[in-house]
Amino acid sequence: MVIKMKSNFLEVMNKQLIGLDNQLEISGDAKHNIFIIGAPRSGTTLLSQLFSGCTNAGYPNNLMSSFWNAPITGALLSTRWTEDKIFTGNSNFGQTSDYREPHEFGAFWRSNLLMDGMEQPDDILTESIKWNHLANTLKDISRVFSVPVVYKAFHLAWFIREISKALPDSKWIWITRNTVDNARSLLDLRRHMHNDINKWASSKPIGIEKYFVKNPYLEVVAQVELINQWIDSQLKTVNKDNWLSLSLESLVANPIDTFEKVSTWSGVKAVDENIKLAAKNIQPEKFENDLEYQKVKGAYESFLKI
């Protein structure tokens, strides 16, 4: 027998589960959160996969992501059915496939951060967010996992100061990538999403309009640079002991030592054998003899002169 479900099944389910989620009482001490931030295509997915597959950290996976309005229910189901760890190192422009792999939990963040898209919000929206409610929800999720929980979502970078104030024990990991490589990879994201490098993709920082000059190469360079400038300015408001930065290049070149240092700093337990196995599946993205790479490189030189 074939069971047909309505296309809005998940939306209906989430609405029905809100009441249940609010009734659940989770005991235990809340653990700190670990937030992975960076420009799109900078290595955030790879880093989150290493945490999910090679440490004891909790994280929203592809199963839990279906419960964006009932995250406690989703976390409980996740801990029940996904005890084994997995690292593939594979993703389709940030999207993983196995139900145990990490998910950005985008619907959850959009709902709680009052966002419809990926544009950097203004102060009015920021002041409208229920920060105490979000903080309490994240604390309850960590109680379910009973370990620190890792989140990777581009929305988070816009609210570093506010989240740090609501959850002062949070840890932030900022991953960066060579700007030209990062921007060149963003062109592929545009192709993947729109089949057109002239159409915007992913996070849109304030001030990017200045670079809308019908030059996609300059746009992606400015996108990377402005996002990283914003992150840098916001992390300066955070206790320096609560954040660190690393480059994708260092992670790819020496994944075992680099990630062991990061995981130790993050306060989670790494599984050395898992890291060694994962390291074999980490391959650098290369743009050798690439005409677009040269155009992006030229655009970066132009950006520095503006």
24 conformational bin, left if phi > 0, alpha if psi -120 to 50, beta if neither: beta
Whether residue 3 has pLDDT greater than 60: no
HSE, CB side, 13 Å, CA atoms: give it for residue 207.
10
pLDDT above 70 covers a percentage of the chain that reads 92
pLDDT category, 18, cuts 50, 70, 90? confident
Cα–Cα distance measured from residue 91 to residue 88, given in angstroms and rounded to the nearest whole number: 8
pTM: 0.92
Range of weakest confidence among 4-8, 120-124, 302-306: 4-8
* pLDDT one-digit tens code per residue, 70-128: 999 999 988 887 666 766 666 666 677 677 788 899 999 999 999 999 999 999 999 99
Pairing mode of beta strands 243-247, 33-37: unpaired
Measured distance CA(203)–CA(170) in Å, rounded:
22
Nearest alpha-carbon partner for 16 in 8, 4, 5: 8
* All residues at 6 or more sequence positions from 303 whose CB lies less than 8 Å from its CB, including other chains: 211, 218, 221, 222, 225
